[in-house]
A and B are shown apart, each in its own frame.
Chain A
Amino acid sequence: MSVERRTWGAASLGYALLLLSCSENEPDRLSSDTSLKDPPPAAIGSKPAKERRTKAFLHHDPEQLGIDFVHRRYQTESIKYLPETAGSGMAMLDYDRDGDLDLYFVQCCPLPGYQGTQAAEPDRLYRNDGGFRFADVTRSAGLGDLSYGMGVTCPDLDNDGFPEIYVANLGPNVLYHNNGDGTFENVSGGSGIDDPSWSTAAGWVDFDRDGDLDLYLCNYAVCDFEHYKVCSQGKLISYCHPDTLESQPDRLFRNDDGLHFTDITVEAGIVDPFGKGLAVVPFDHDGDGWIDLFIANDADPNFLWLNRGEAAGGLQFEEVAGLCGAALSGKGSSQSCMGTDIADIDNDLDFDIFSANFAKEPNVLYERIEDFYEDRIYPRGLGEASYKFTGFGAEFLDFDRDADLDLVVVNGHIIDIVEQLDSTQTFAQEAHLYVNRGDGVFDEKGASIHPFFGERHVARGLCVGDVDDDGDLDLLVSNNDEAPSVLQNLASESSPGDVWIGFRLVGRKSARDAIGARLEVQQGDRRRVDEVRGSTSYLCWLDLRLYFGFGPGDKGLPCTARIRWPSGRNSEHQGLASCRYHVIEEPIE
C-alpha cells in the first residue's frame, strides 16, 4: 500500500480567529425537555444564481453555498482499481455544538499507476453558518486526511458532547478526537482501530452496555496493488466484478476508555465474517434491548449479527440472517447489497430493512412479518423501477411530512464504460424518490416532484437531515468524481400547517449519542417509532436527531414520547409541544 499522504501546514491567522469564535459560541449543556431552537424562517432569502426551485425542493449549486468540494476518484486508466468507483461518503455532524449540522466530505487520492495531473486533495469539513451557508474550516480544525477515503462516521466516543471523526479508508483508518474548541487531533496511532484494510462502513453501538460506543468495522476486500488483476472486455479496460477480489473479514472492537479499543472479533463470536461489507446498520432485531447489527454484503449473503447480551454471559454474537430471511433476495440468491436503511415503513411499529442493489437485480425490502423478514420488494411497489439501476445511498424519510415514510435511492453504475458494453446501462443514473401512498406501498415519482430526480449522476452517499433547522428534512448526495448535490426541502414553506416533532436523545448511563435508543412518539391516536442509528445509507453518517411528520393537524395537541434507552432504562415524556425539536436526557434515578 503506497497511498500518498501529506499534512497541512499551520493554520492561517484567519483560521485561528475563526477557531476562537467557535469556542466562544459553545452552547451550554442542554437539559431535559427543552427546545433546542425555535424553527427559524426558511433560509431562502438570497437565492444563488444557479438554484432551481420547485414546490418540494430547492436544488442548490453547492459552490454558491460555500461548499467547493469536488470528489475525485483519481482513475488509473490502465488498471482501474475497484475502490475508485466505490466512494465516497459524507457526514452530517454538529462538531461545534452550536445546534446546527456541519458537513464532512470524504476524498480520494492518487493510487499507484495514476497518470493524471490532479493533485491530492484532503477530506473537507464545512461549518454551517446558518441560512444554508457554509465555511470550509478543514485547516483550522486540524483536519485534512489525504488517504483514499471511503466512509466517515462521527460518534461521540468519550461522551463529552463533541463528536469525533472516524474515516474508513483504503489503507489505515483515521480517528480524529474532537478537542471541543473547534479543533481535532489525529489519535489514530494507538487507538487500535487504525485498521489498514480496505474499510468501508463503521457501525457504533454500545454492545456491552458499559456506557461507551464499540465499533463494528466493515472491511471489503484485499486490494493488492502489486498483483492487481486487470479486467477487460476485449480491448476495453473495465472495473472488475467484486468476485475477483478476496473478501476481507469484518472486525469488532470494544471501547476501553473512549479513544482506545481492543479487537474482540473472535471472542465475541464474529466467526467467518467473510462478506464484502458495504453498510452496517444497528437495530434491535429481537426487541431485547441489546442492539443487533445488519450488515449489507456485496455479492455475498448479508449478515444479521444477533447480540446475545446477558443470555450469553458477555459480549457474544450469533449470525442469523439466513434463518431470519435477511440474507438473500426473495429469489434465494445473494445480491450486491449496498446502501441500507432500517425503518418502520408501514407504521406497524416494527422495523423493515431496505438495501439498494446492483443493476439488473431489484432492490431488496426485508419486511418484518412476525419474527422474520421476507423480501417484499414487489408487493411494496419498490421493485420494478429499481431493476435497471445500481443503487447506493438509500434513506427513508418523510420528505412531505404526511405521516408516512418515503424513500430516496441514489444511483450510479460502477463501470465507467458500461454504455459501451451494455446499451441498457449508463454510468451516471437518475435518483429515485418513492412516495409512500400511506399504506406502505410506494410509487416512484421523483421526476414529477423535482427535476433533480431526472438528472444523472454517479451518486454514492445520501445524507438526510434538517440542515437549516426549519422542521423538514434536506438531502445531500455525494457523487463520484463530481461535486455533491444539495437539495433544500421546502415543506416547511409550502405546507406550514403540517404537524411535526423532532428529538435529540442524550444518554447519561447510556453512551451520550444514545445509538440504539428506541423512541415511540404519539400524538392523539397516531403512533410512530424509530431508533437512533447514525450509520445508515452508504458510507455516511446522518443527523442523530429523530424526526416525525404527522401531516396537517392540530398543532396544539401535545405529544408523548416513550423511550427505551440503550442502557435498558425506560422513560416517558408527556406534554411535548409539536413543531419543534426536543432534547431529552436519559433520566438517572
Chain B
Amino acid sequence: MMRWCLCLVVLIGLAGTAAAGLTSQGGAKVQARLASELKKVEGLLAQSRYAEAARAAERLVRRFKNEFLAWMALAHCHIQEWPLRNDQRAEEAAEQCVLLKGREPPVLLVLVKTKLRQSKFDEVLALVEELLPHPAIRSAPETTAELLTMRATVHQRQGALDPQALKKAAEDLELARTLSPRNVGVLISSAELHIHEQRYEEARVELEAAVAISPGQKRVHSLLVTCYRHKKDPEKVKLHYEILTLLNRLVDSVALTNAPKEEERFEILRKLAVKNPTDFEHRMQLAVVLWRRGESPAALKEIDEILKIAPIHQGARLLRAQVESGAGPDEEEGEEESEPGEDADKDGDSCP
C-alpha cells in the first residue's frame, strides 16, 4: 500500500474529531456508530476480506450518505489490491468526497490513484499538475515523491509510442528519489523503468532495496522473479515465485469473498513466515490468527520473532501485552446483518 493513501486507522481517528459534522444526524450516538462501523471496515481490510469490507462500506454510505468519512472508507476498500475491486466505484466515492469537502489533497490523492488504475492517463497528469503546487503537498516530500512516481508511470506506459516520455519518466523518478530515497513506490517504479529498457541488474538492485524495506509486497517479488530469471539464478526465481504465489492466494482465493477460509489462510501465513521471514506484516497476521486459535504460546513466539526484526513495532508490542494479559481476542469482525428494509446482499451474490 502506497503511503500516500489515507489509512483507515487515520480515518477512524478523524471520526473522533468529526463530531461537529455529525450533529445533524444525531450527535454523539451517530458519531459512535460511524466510528464503530468504520472500525469494522478496517477489521475486514486487515484480514484481507476485501469483498466483505466493500459491502460493509456500501452499507455505510447508505446510512451516512452525507458523511465524508463513509465515502472515503468505500474508496479505500476499492483502492486495495484485490481481484474484484471496482476502480470505477472508488472513483465515484472519491468524487463524492470532493463534493462534500472540496478538492482537498487527501481526496485528490485517492482520486488520482483510481484514475491511474483505469488508465485515464490524461486525467492523472492533470490531477498531478493540480496537486504538486499545493502547499500541503509541497511540504510533504513523501507525497510529492509518490505523485511524481505516478506521473512517471503514465510516461512509462506511453513510452512505447513516444520515446520522449521515457526520458520524462526517468527525470520524475530521479527527483522522487531525491525527495524520498527509501520510498518503496519510487524504487519499484525505477525498477520497472529499468526492466522496460531491459536493464535487469539495475532493476534487481532497486528491488532488493525495496524488499528489504517492504518484504510483503507482491509486486516486488513479481519483478524480482523477472530479474533473477535473467541472472540465471533458479533458486531465487523459485523462492520469490513461491512467495508471490502465497501472497496471491491471500487475496485470490476461489472463495466468493476472495479471501481464503480461516484454516487455509492460517496455512498460507505459516508458509509465508518460513519462506519470507522478514515479512513482519504477514507475521503479525499469523500471530493474531494463532492467538484467535487459542495458541497463545505460539502467538507469543511469533511476536518475539517480529520484535527481533522490528524492535519498535508498536502493533507487536500491543499484541504481546494483550496476549500476556490472558484477555481473549475481540470477536472477529464479520458481515453484519442488514437492517430491515435495506437492500441486503444475499448469500451467493458476487461482484461481476
Contacts and interface: CB of A to CB of B under 8 A. Distances in A.
Interface of A: 229-234, 238-241, 243-244, 246-247, 299, 301, 322-325, 328, 330-334, 360, 362, 369-372, 374, 376, 378-381, 383-384, 387-388, 415, 418, 421-424, 441-443
B195 A322 contact: no
24 contacts: A230-B348, A231-B348, A238-B352, A240-B350, A246-B254, A301-B245, A323-B234, A323-B238, A323-B241, A332-B225, A370-B229, A370-B230, A371-B229, A372-B229, A378-B157, A378-B160, A379-B196, A381-B161, A383-B119, A383-B157, A384-B119, A388-B118, A422-B88, A441-B160
Contact of A330 (B118, B158, B222, B346): B222
A229 B348 contact: yes
B88 A332 contact: no
B160 A415 contact: no
B350 A331 contact: no
Contacts of B158: 384
A421 B237 CA distance: 40
A332 B248 contact: yes
A505 B27 CA distance: 81
B188 to A, nearest CB: 11
Contacts of B86: 422
Interface in B215-245: 218-219, 221-223, 225-226, 229-230, 234, 237-238, 241, 244-245
Given A241-B350, A243-B254, A441 B87 contact: no
Nearest to A234: B343
Contacts of A229: 348
Nearest to A370: B230
Q: Which of B157, B218, B234, B248: most chain A Cβ within 10 A? A: B157
Given A241-B84, A441-B160, A322 B226 contact: no
B161 A241 contact: no
Nearest to A376: B196
Contact of B352 (A334, A421, A424): A421
A230 B347 CA distance: 10
Contact of A424 (B88, B157, B160, B255): B88
B349 interface: yes
Given A238-B352, A333-B83, A384-B119, 9 more contacts: A230-B348, A231-B349, A323-B241, A331-B219, A332-B222, A333-B248, A334-B248, A378-B160, A384-B157
Given A372-B229, A379-B159, A387-B119, A241 B352 contact: yes
A331 B196 CA distance: 13
Contact of A243 (B229, B230, B256): B256
Contacts of A362: 119
B327 interface: no
B156 interface: yes
B118 A244 contact: no
B258 interface: yes
A376 B195 CA distance: 9
Interface string B180-210: 0000000000000001101000000000000
**Residue among B88, B119, B218, B255 facing the most chain A CB atoms (10 A cut-off):** B119
A387 to B, nearest CB: 4
B318 interface: no
B222 A331 contact: yes
A323 B237 contact: yes
B20 interface: no
Interface string B293-321: 00000000000000000000000000000
A240 B84 CA distance: 12
A589 B351 CA distance: 61
Contacts of A246: 254
A241 B196 CA distance: 33
Contacts of A383: 119, 157
Contacts of B230: 369-370, 372
B121 interface: yes
A374 B161 contact: no
A369 B87 CA distance: 32
B352 A239 contact: yes
B196 to A, nearest CB: 5
B262 to A, nearest CB: 18
B119 A233 contact: no
A230 B348 CA distance: 7
B21 to A, nearest CB: 29
A359 to B, nearest CB: 10
Contacts of A384: 119, 121, 157-158
Contact of B198 (A239, A369, A422): A369
A422 B241 CA distance: 34
B252 interface: yes
A229 B346 CA distance: 11
Interface in B37-92: 83-84, 86-88
Contacts of B157: 378, 383-384
A322 B88 contact: no
Q: Which 4 A-B pairs have the closest CB atoms?
A: A332-B222, A381-B160, A387-B119, A372-B229
Nearest to B117: A360
A441 B223 CA distance: 22
Contact of B244 (A233, A332, A441, A443): A332
Contacts of A443: 161
A378 B226 contact: no
A332 B219 contact: yes
Given A231-B350, A244-B350, A334-B252, A378 B156 contact: yes
Contacts of A424: 88, 118
A418 B352 contact: yes
Contacts of A370: 229-230
B343 to A, nearest CB: 6
B237 to A, nearest CB: 6
A325 B87 CA distance: 27
Contacts of A244: 256, 348, 350
B161 A441 contact: yes
A387 B118 contact: yes
A230 to B, nearest CB: 7
Given A232-B349, A239-B352, A243-B254, A334 B83 contact: yes
A238 B248 CA distance: 26
Contacts of B343: 234
A379 B84 contact: no
B351 A241 contact: yes
A332 B246 CA distance: 11
Interface in B155-172: 156-161
Contacts of B350: 231, 240-241, 243-244
Contacts of B241: 322-323
A380 B159 CA distance: 9
A324 B351 CA distance: 32
A232 B352 CA distance: 9
Interface string B91-115: 0000000000000000000000000
A362 B83 CA distance: 13
A31 B286 CA distance: 69
A360 B87 contact: yes
A464 B256 CA distance: 38
Contacts of A301: 245
